[in-house]
Structure 1
């Protein structure tokens, strides 16, 4: 997954269920109750978005182990896999939201 942030939560909210973690970030995804989800990674990116972020976030790039060009290259290489993995997730999540909104109406 793509990480592009400076802030992170260090402790899950009370009653939260951990859904995903990584060696760098212990709390990647979590759920609170049945309807609240928290993600600390990006599933919505495109190569163009990452290139823009890498160009604007001088501090973030400087604090990473890579330079801007390497970040962009690695992102470009990863995006087909990210799309393949996360497009179904995003579609299912959107369907959950639509279904809930219809039931609430």
Structure 2
């Protein structure tokens, strides 16, 4: 199943920051809801549009770069501008891991290096009161597993942001901004095979920080059936929001 198209009209704009961090399972479920994806491979020099005109949603993926490192990732200022445009214009937005950090930073929050070291592997999440009734994350069960792979995290939410999910070792696992924007710290788009690729790339650094890459991969592999079920449903719920907003604009 293809998860991308080069056409822009009535498609979700997807910002991909590096080769091994594509839309994955989230993309597959969005396509399943009838959406098309316009994937920009920013690390390859593909240009982001000046505006979201013609796009029905904005999906900002993860990556290893710091969300403020415009020298290493010169496309970040444009991503921040698109995030602000999405929130101001009520265009459905979803930021994943680095993408979620970009959302927080672009809207006035802040991101910091985790002093306790990286959070990796499958981690159980807890619902916060505002999750009840949320159109995207409202059905996530208490204790749902989430695949994690991050050295940085949001340490201050933007003004007006609503926290939805938390964890024992990372307070802001998911939050909502504006009427149609969501950000998550974890990786709903990946399974164990992708995490294994990251473990191969980051294993030495992870061990130096006291982590166990093999155990992280094993935990995601064990949880993968539930990961696919929970976050596949969340992906389709966000897709439903995208289609509803697109329909309202046409009407």
Confirm or deny a common fold (TM above 0.5). Answer: yes
1:63 aligns with 2:209: yes
Mapped to 1, the partners of 2:206 and 2:245 lie a distance apart of 37
Q: Is the strand fraction higher in 1 or 2?
A: 2
1:21 aligns with 2:171: no
- What SS does the corresponding residue of 1:9 show, helix, strand or coil? strand
C-alpha deviations, 1:66-104, integer Å up to 9, x for none?
Answer: 2x2222211110111111222111111111112212322
1:83 pairs with one of 208, 228, 234: 228
Extract unaligned runs of 5+ from structure 1. Answer: none
Mapped to 1, the partners of 2:217 and 2:184 lie a distance apart of 22
C-alpha deviations, 1:31-68, integer Å up to 9, x for none?
Answer: 112111111011110221111011111323542542x2
Count of residue pairs the alignment pairs up? 104
The 8 Å contact of residues 54 and 61 in structure 1, kept in 2 or not, is answered as: no
The 8 Å contact of residues 30 and 38 in structure 1, kept in 2 or not, is answered as: yes
1:10 aligns with 2:167: no
TM-score, normalization: structure 2?
A: 0.39
Mapped to 1, the partners of 2:157 and 2:207 lie a distance apart of 27
Q: Indicate the residue corresponding to 2:195 in structure 1.
A: 50
1:38 pairs with one of 152, 171, 183: 183
> CA 1:78–1:64 in structure 2 vs 1: closer, same or farther (change >3 Å)?
farther
Q: CA RMSD for the aligned pairs?
A: 1.5
Q: Is the helix fraction higher in 1 or 2?
A: 1
